[in-house]
Amino acid sequence: MEIRRDVFQAIADPTRREIIDLVAHKSLNLNSIAENFDVSRQAISLHIKILTECGLLVIRQQGRERYCEAQFKKLHEVSEWVEKYRVLWNKRLDKMDGLLNELQAGNKKRNKKQHGLNKNR
């Protein structure tokens, strides 16, 4: 068991993202989750299976009910991948700001050239 699933693949589906949103703050059993969607219980059950297989959810069996608890640790993988670009993307914004400022400065008047300002972003 425990088929290594890809987290990125798991959160690709909007329904699965909603499921995570739902159980983020308090555990819910499968049927309570399914109530929030207009697909069959079975469909939701499958989504939950996928989410547990990749470690984003953990099931606590309690009698005949299965409570789903979010497991955020696994989101770290996604976070890492995205955040490594944050530096670059801030840099790009800076550059754009710079260009905009140059343009504005140029339009308003051709004197008082401001250059390389606006590094705060």
The bridge status of strand 28-29 relative to strand 57-62 is unpaired
| Contact with DNA (CB under 7 A) among 7, 22, 30, 105 | 30
* Of 1 and 87, CB closest to DNA: 1
Q: Please choose which of DNA, a copy of itself, none residue 114 contacts, taking the beta carbon within 5 to 8 angstroms, the exact cut-off set by kind.
A: none
Near a copy of itself by CB under 8 A: residue from 62, 72, 99, 100: 72
Distance from C-alpha of 10 to C-alpha of 55, rounded to nearest angstrom: 10
Q: Compute the half-sphere exposure of residue 7: CA atoms within 13 Å on the CB side of its CA.
A: 15
| Residue 31 engages a copy of itself in binding (rule: CB under 8 A) | no
Alpha helices in the chain (DSSP H): 7-10, 14-23, 30-35, 41-53, 75-83, 86-108
What letter does residue 31 receive in the DSSP assignment? H
Residues of this chain that interact with DNA (CB under 7 A) are: 9, 12-13, 15, 29-32, 39-43, 45-50, 59, 63-66
Q: Residues in the site for a copy of itself, rule: CB under 8 A?
A: 6, 8-9, 11-12, 14, 17, 24-25, 70, 72-73, 75-76, 78-79, 81-83, 85-86, 88-89, 92-93
